[in-house]
Amino acid sequence: MKNNVGREIPDEILNEKDYKTFKSVDIGNPEKQRVAPKVSVSTGDDKVVDSLEDVVKENVKDGMTISFHHHFREGDFVFNKVMDIIINAGIKDLTLAPSSLTNVMNDKVVEAIKAGTITNITSSGMRGSLGEAVSHGLLKNPVIFRSHGNRARSIEEGEINIDVAFLGVPNSDRLGNANGMNGDAAFGSLGYALMDANYANKVVLLTDNLVDYPNTPASIKQTQVDYVVKVDKVGDPDRIGTGATRFTKNPKDLKIAKMVNDVIIHSPYFKQGFSFQTGSGGAALAVARFLRQSMIDNDIKASFALGGITKPIVDLLEEGLVNKVMDVQDFDKGAASSMKNNKNQQEIDASWYADPDNKGAMVDQLDVAILSALEIDTDFNVNVMTGSNGVIRGAVGGHQDAATSKMTIISAPLTRGRIATVVPKVSTVVTPGDSIDVLVTEVGIAVNPKRKDLVEAFKKVPGLPLVSIDELQKRAEKIVGKPEEIQYTDRTVALVEYRDGTLVDAIKEIKD
Amino acid sequence: MGIKETALAGTLESSDIQITLSEGTGINIDLDSSVEALYGDQIKKVITDTLNKYGITDAKVKAVDKGALDCVVKARTMAVAQRALGTTDEPNWEVL
């Protein structure tokens, strides 16, 4: 059956898993029932254990759902350590439900799939050897990709029912009061892990830094935690986040960033108390620099910056140009280390950040979002999941969530090498075009024709190179040529949910 | 027509293609490309067409492509063809 972005979703998937197809980016005002976790009652005096093996053997059984967070990013030591024990214990048929999977986890996941340990996965994304393996059919059941907001929703509504959460923390006391801000492996916000701590039936903290009771500030609380396991090291500080984020010198990135800034400051949203979210890519970071100058020149301050936070955003906070930073994760050390010193850098959980089934999420209040794209098509649908060869190599992240902002700008080069970014049809729809408002490339700006108000506003601005997205697509094709079509089999290897849990696309196995 | 000597043109940088031409029978292209699934046939066609314009019908071609555009593929093929034919001092303007 075709959904509302023209994607064919196999009927057997819809029937088997009781799925609905994507209809609209408008969530509406439904009434939803949330779930609550089981509580194993204890006074908490015997939570500290030395043997991770014992904890795993006592709590992880065949067919369960286990979870992890990805706040340690490429410096994670927790995932592989826990998975090794689970694989060696011969446990089978697990559902893996981490907030996302980073490259350091790839080989272990592949090993666990081959061993029959993992038979289902839901994640924000996957890359590298794991993405290749899944795209070539390694996993029998389709992977389910969910945005950060959708993961929060799915946990709250019982679609993801976590039996055991293994959460690495850079500090904890003996009862499990913990935060992400202090310790050798500090990473700042615990945003995504807070969902697991709140909703998993069993919560196992792993830490290399046991501190005096009671530990404050406590992002994860003793009321949520079943075990505190002392390990040698939870993460490699040098690989958790790169040190100082350097500004791009790439002239193409700078040109795009300047054009994005021009779009923002000439939009109706650039006024006292506006809010914004930027990604972590080179162009997005450069936007922060141009935006800073425009805010100073026009004497405009932002009420908040949202999402994954970088040092340039923290600098705006410290300069007084941004009142609050609402922080669900930190992309670099500068952002991670400033949280403990600045009370205006507020840690938020994934639900507060972006869960659509909410009494108001932060993304619902967002004015401007600057996001990236691997591909964007002439209907403004965006792909951040599969590469030009159809192989899984990305993540939904907060893309669908932040795209609900009042003005969502995609900043992307027209082409990358011989690969066109603006294409007739994206290989995978992740974010529907209805929530994308402006595309900025180095050769021109395309406004979604559905946003007549923005078209009118930008027409009045001299020097803004407005073009249609069809022109951009033709221009890209003229440069790189017309590629051959990717060959897929009939088998579905992954499903992409929209943030409300409907199916926005199905990813097929690559034909070799 | 065959070639006089083995020759090489191009680099392994992004958006470039490195082409090696050596003696062989017929045009035989061994292509290694980062965009092979999408543009493999097109790249081979540009190389073959360009070689034919030099009258080269017998050569072994090794091409390592890093996402070069057609114009780059053509330019590198011209360079390697003239080097292999020993005619770098007398560019064949007709091919341009």
**Does residue A502 lie in a domain region?**
no
Classify residue B94: in a domain, yes or no.
no
Q: Is A419 on the interface with B (CB under 8 A)?
A: yes
Scanning A166-319, the segments in alpha helix (DSSP H) are 193-199, 237-240, 251-265, 282-298, 311-318
Per-residue confidence (pLDDT) for residue A248, from 0 to 100: 82
What CATH number does the domain containing B81 carry? 3.30.230.10
Q: Is A424 on the interface with B (CB under 8 A)?
A: no
Express each pLDDT in B20-79 by its tens digit: 999 999 999 999 999 999 999 999 999 999 999 999 999 999 999 999 999 999 999 999
Q: Look up tokens 């021009």; give the residue.
A: A262
Mean pLDDT is lowest, of A16-25, A325-334, A362-371, B86-95, for: B86-95
What is the pLDDT, as a whole number, of residue A183? 96
User: Does residue A337 form part of some domain?
Assistant: yes
Average pLDDT on A220-231 reads 98
Q: Domain check: are A124 and A217 in the same one?
A: yes
Out of A417, A481, A484, name the one closest to residue B37 (CB): A484
Residue type, A42: S
- Residue B31: beta bridge partners? B63
Query: Hey, how many other C-beta atoms are within 10 angstroms of the C-beta on A454?
Result: 21
In this structure, are A148 and A281 located in the same domain?
Answer: no
Same domain? For A257 and A203 the reply is: no
Locate B21 and state its tokens. Answer: 């031409």
pLDDT over threshold 60, residue A244: no
What is the CATH classification number for the domain harbouring A133? 3.40.1080.10
Q: Are residues A392 and A465 in the same domain?
A: yes
Cα–Cα distance measured from residue A169 to residue A229, given in angstroms and rounded to the nearest whole number: 10
Number of domains in chain B: 1
Determine, yes or no, domain membership for A471. yes
Per-residue pLDDT band at A101 (split at 50, 70, 90): very high
Looking at the domain assignment, is residue A52 inside a domain?
yes
Contact A330, A339 (CB under 8 A): yes
pLDDT of residue A80 exceeding 60, the answer is: yes
Find the CB nearest B67 among A389, A417, A484.
Answer: A417
Provide the shortest C-alpha distance from residue B14 to chain A (in Å): 7
Instruction: Choose the mutation target among A389, A391, A418 for the interface with B, i.e. most B CBs under 10 Å.
Output: A418
| Residues of chain B neighbouring A387 (CB-CB closer than 8 A) | none
**C-beta of residue B16 within 8 angstroms of C-beta of residue B73:** no
Q: What percent of chain A has pLDDT above 90?
A: 93
Cβ contact A193:A99 at 8 Å: yes
In a domain, A385, yes or no: yes
Number of domains in chain A: 2
State yes or no: pLDDT of A162 exceeds 60.
yes
Does A66 have pLDDT greater than 90? Answer: yes
Residue A209 within any structural domain of the chain = yes
Q: What's the pLDDT tens digit per position in A299-351?
A: 999 999 999 999 999 999 999 999 999 999 999 889 999 999 999 999 999 99
- Domain span at residue A467 reads 251-481
Q: Report the C-alpha gap between A363 and A368 in whole angstroms.
A: 10
ipTM summary value: 0.88
Q: Do B38 and A479 touch (CB under 8 A)?
A: no
Q: What is the pLDDT of residue B95?
A: 75
Per-residue pLDDT reduced to its tens digit, A477-497? 999 999 999 999 999 999 999
> What is the band of A282 on the pLDDT scale with cuts at 50, 70, 90?
confident
Q: Are residues A232 and A107 in the same domain?
A: yes
Residues A17 and A98 in one domain: yes
pLDDT of residue A386: 97
Which among A219, A240, A261 is the end of a domain?
A: A240
Residues with Cβ within 8 Å of residue A366, at least 6 apart in sequence: A275, A276, A277, A306, A402, A404, A405, A406
pLDDT in tens, A396-408: 999 999 999 999 9
Q: Round to whole Å and give the CA distance between A313 and A292.
A: 9
Backbone angles phi, psi at A173, to 5 degrees: -95, -175
pLDDT band of B4, cuts 50, 70, 90:
confident
Report pLDDT for A199.
Answer: 98
Say which residue the tokens 């705006």 belong to: A316
Q: Tell me, what's the pLDDT at B2?
A: 78
Pair A262, A177 in one domain: no
Inter-CA distances, A189 with A81, A277, B93, Å:
22, 16, 63
> What number is the average pLDDT over the span A170-198?
97
CB-hemisphere CA count at 13 Å for A114? 8
Cα B73 to Cα B81: distance, rounded to the nearest angstrom? 12
In a domain, A510, yes or no: no
Q: Which domain holds residue B48?
A: 7-85
Residue A164, strand partner residues? A66, A202
> A41 lies in a domain?
no
Q: How big is the A-B interface in CB pairs under 8 Å? A: 37
pLDDT confidence bin for A285, thresholds 50/70/90? confident
